[in-house]
A and B are shown apart, each in its own frame.
Chain A
Amino acid sequence: MGQELNGIFRYQKYISFFRIRFVAGLQYKAAALAGIVTQFVWGALELLMFRAFYEAYPAAFPMTREALSSYIWLQQALLALFMTWFLENDIFNTITEGGIAYELCRPADLYDMWFFRSMANRLSKAVLRSFPILIFASFLPMPYGMRLPVNLTAGFWFFITVILGFLVVVAFCMLVYIATFFTFSPVGVRMVAISVVEFFSGAVIPLPFLPDGFRQFVEILPFASMQNVPLRIYSGDINGLEIYARAGLQLFWLIVLVGLGKWLTAVALKRVVVQGG
């Protein structure tokens, strides 16, 4: 019983980290408004662009237009959850400028602490931004508008896989942060990592638009376990038994990335150099 309580208590401090960050993030309302406008314009241009491609050669369209519209609106609305370029400068500065010493004094696991913090940051941004975009988008005429998930199963699995995908993104970003321990030139690592992920996660163009052969390869990579899975389940582009396979793959990558991250943190902390004073 005592041990159990202890366990809950230990968990609680991460929840507090989460809450502090989450509430702080909610304060930036003007930034959120600007973000909403930006994302809305982005989504609209994206859809207009795909319309032109559809008109050029309808038969080559790999998913229904309704599915694509839902995909793009969800992508814009949930941007804060899934975009890997959305990294926290604070964490980089902590490592490069020596603040890490204070972080290590805390009676908490560094990896867990940063993991929760990143989650909170992203979630608070997403909460402020997603609903206005989705509500606006649902008023647009078909096939450009946002619609409800194709059925209840899709809705349910969308929910599950959004969480999994979100965790995979955070776990990946943790690797980028940890890489800073080893290089001290975070900008380069960061930009290379980001641009690779951007493309392979389906942020530039949805993965079904990639040529066959290449696409099958990309779908196995951890990056395809980010936004690709939930956004396509939502609109029924991924359905039936395939859902379980994709969700399983997401879980697999999540475990691998977190394991790798924890291991690298341990290695890095053994030889950590505190920069400056």
Chain B
Amino acid sequence: MRLYFNFFVMHLKVAMQYKISFMLTTLGQFLVSFNVFLGVLFLLQRFHEVKGYGFSEVVLCYATVLMAYSIAEMFMRGFDMFASTISNFEFDRMLLRPRSCIFQVVSGKMEFTRIGRILQALVMFAYGITKSEVHWDLWKVVTLLLMIVGGSVVFGCLFLIYASICFFTIEGLEFMNVLTDGAREYGKYPIDVYGKGVLRFCTYLVPYALFQYYPFLYLIGKADQWWYMLLPLLGCIFLFPCYLLWRFGIRHYKSTGS
């Protein structure tokens, strides 16, 4: 853990060496997700509600997903760039070092410009929390935190799958973007907006709904089942198959030899 902290400080210092570039990229990150926010704003201004959710509720939902995604992307960036780690021989070097590969991949790259998105999420939280008619008590706060943590774990798992597939294909598979970027983009609305089929997919196949939809219903008081708040923890079970896939991938790893 102390080693990880050292890496953290190191990456932060590196990022701060190019301050203007860092600021501009961060601003860019902010603007990109701000676009999505504007889309939500204008649509809800016109239609007032969607599936019974008002603007402030949608904002709260989007903030949670964006926050979870940004945290996962900031710290799991190494998996996102894993294709190049394999193709430039870096992974062979990792196998030789006396630390776990996952640790090395994770600590090898951190993307602090994602703070732009986190900032956007924070602004939306500020708005969503004050404007929505949620009766905040300790349990609601815990629910919100669990949603963010659970979400980060699920997104982290998806990055891990993406990297594991690289063992077989050497290059990244673009369609994984549907599961990561797609969930970030379309997770702005509670999942039932997209209908029953999508909700089922997001509950049983990739557990987005476990950290977004169900606990969110409890949060805004649309559902009384208190155990909905614990579902993000259930979603973390997703980690096991993903980790097995990673192990399986490593065992079948053949160096590119370049």
Given A60-B46, A191-B29: A34 touches B173 (CB 8 Å cut-off): yes
Given A48-B194, A185-B24, A187-B25: A31 touches B174 (CB 8 Å cut-off): yes
* Interface flag for B50 (CB, 8 Å): yes
CB proximity to A under 8 Å, residues B175-231: 175, 177-178, 182, 186, 189, 193-195, 198
* Interface flag for B130 (CB, 8 Å): no
CB proximity to B under 8 Å, residues A16-67: 31, 34-35, 37-38, 41-42, 45, 48-49, 51-53, 55-57, 60, 62
How long is the Cα–Cα vector from A209 to B34 in the complex, in angstroms? Answer: 17
List the A side residues contacting B34 at CB < 8 Å.
195
How long is the Cα–Cα vector from A60 to B177 in the complex, in angstroms? Answer: 32
List the B side residues contacting A210 at CB < 8 Å.
42
List the B side residues contacting A51 at CB < 8 Å.
195
How long is the Cα–Cα vector from A41 to B194 in the complex, in angstroms? Answer: 12
**In chain B, what residue has the closest Cβ to A57?**
B47
Q: Across the interface, do B32 and A53 meet the contact criterion of CB distance under 8 Å?
A: no
How long is the Cα–Cα vector from A45 to B51 in the complex, in angstroms? Answer: 15
List the A side residues contacting B186 at CB < 8 Å.
45, 49
Chain A contact residues: over half helix, strand or loop, or mixed?
helix
Q: Across the interface, do A56 and B175 meet the contact criterion of CB distance under 8 Å?
A: no
**In chain B, what residue has the closest Cβ to A203?**
B35
* Interface flag for B249 (CB, 8 Å): no
How long is the Cα–Cα vector from A209 to B46 in the complex, in angstroms? Answer: 8
How long is the Cα–Cα vector from A17 to B18 in the complex, in angstroms? Answer: 36
CB distance from B143 to the nearest CB of A (A): 24
Given A48-B193, A48-B195, A56-B47: A204 touches B39 (CB 8 Å cut-off): yes
* Interface flag for B108 (CB, 8 Å): no
Contact with B along A188-217 (1 / 0, CB 8 A): 111110111011000011000111000000
Given A41-B182, A187-B24, A188-B28: A204 touches B36 (CB 8 Å cut-off): yes
Q: Across the interface, do A195 and B174 meet the contact criterion of CB distance under 8 Å?
A: no
How long is the Cα–Cα vector from A52 to B21 in the complex, in angstroms? Answer: 40
Candidates A37, A62, A188, A205; contact of B178 at CB < 8 Å: A37
Residue count of chain B within 8 Å CB distance of chain A:
36
Residue count of chain A within 8 Å CB distance of chain B:
35
How long is the Cα–Cα vector from A38 to B172 in the complex, in angstroms? Answer: 14
How long is the Cα–Cα vector from A199 to B38 in the complex, in angstroms? Answer: 8
CB distance from B205 to the nearest CB of A (A): 13
* Interface flag for B247 (CB, 8 Å): no
Given A41-B182, A45-B182, A199-B35: A211 touches B28 (CB 8 Å cut-off): no
Q: Across the interface, do B194 and A209 meet the contact criterion of CB distance under 8 Å?
A: no
List the A side residues contacting B195 at CB < 8 Å.
48, 51-52
Q: Across the interface, do A205 and B42 meet the contact criterion of CB distance under 8 Å?
A: yes
Q: How many residue pairs bridge A and B at CB < 8 Å?
A: 106
**In chain B, what residue has the closest Cβ to A183?**
B24
* Interface flag for B43 (CB, 8 Å): yes
CB distance from B170 to the nearest CB of A (A): 12
* Interface flag for B239 (CB, 8 Å): no
Q: Across the interface, do A185 and B27 meet the contact criterion of CB distance under 8 Å?
A: no
Candidates A31, A52, A188, A205; contact of B193 at CB < 8 Å: A52
**In chain B, what residue has the closest Cβ to A42?**
B182
CB distance from B14 to the nearest CB of A (A): 16
Q: Of residues B50, B177, B189, which shows the largest number of chain A Cβ atoms within 10 Å of its Cβ?
A: B50
Q: Across the interface, do A49 and B21 meet the contact criterion of CB distance under 8 Å?
A: no
CB distance from B67 to the nearest CB of A (A): 19
**In chain A, what residue has the closest Cβ to B37?**
A204
Q: Across the interface, do B25 and A198 meet the contact criterion of CB distance under 8 Å?
A: no
How long is the Cα–Cα vector from A31 to B198 in the complex, in angstroms? Answer: 25
How long is the Cα–Cα vector from A210 to B88 in the complex, in angstroms? Answer: 47
CB proximity to A under 8 Å, residues B77-104: none
Q: Across the interface, do A56 and B49 meet the contact criterion of CB distance under 8 Å?
A: yes
How long is the Cα–Cα vector from A107 to B25 in the complex, in angstroms? Answer: 36
CB distance from A255 to the nearest CB of B (A): 28
How long is the Cα–Cα vector from A116 to B78 in the complex, in angstroms? Answer: 36
Q: Across the interface, do B27 and A188 meet the contact criterion of CB distance under 8 Å?
A: yes
**In chain A, what residue has the closest Cβ to B186?**
A45
CB proximity to A under 8 Å, residues B156-178: 173-175, 177-178
How long is the Cα–Cα vector from A187 to B39 in the complex, in angstroms? Answer: 24
Candidates A31, A188, A209; contact of B42 at CB < 8 Å: A209
* Interface flag for B20 (CB, 8 Å): yes
- Supply 15 A–B pairs (Cβ within 8 Å), ascending by A: A42-B178, A48-B194, A48-B198, A51-B195, A52-B51, A53-B43, A57-B49, A62-B46, A185-B21, A187-B21, A192-B24, A195-B32, A199-B35, A204-B38, A211-B45
The 6 closest A-B pairs by CB, nearest first: A188-B24, A191-B28, A34-B174, A195-B31, A48-B194, A204-B39
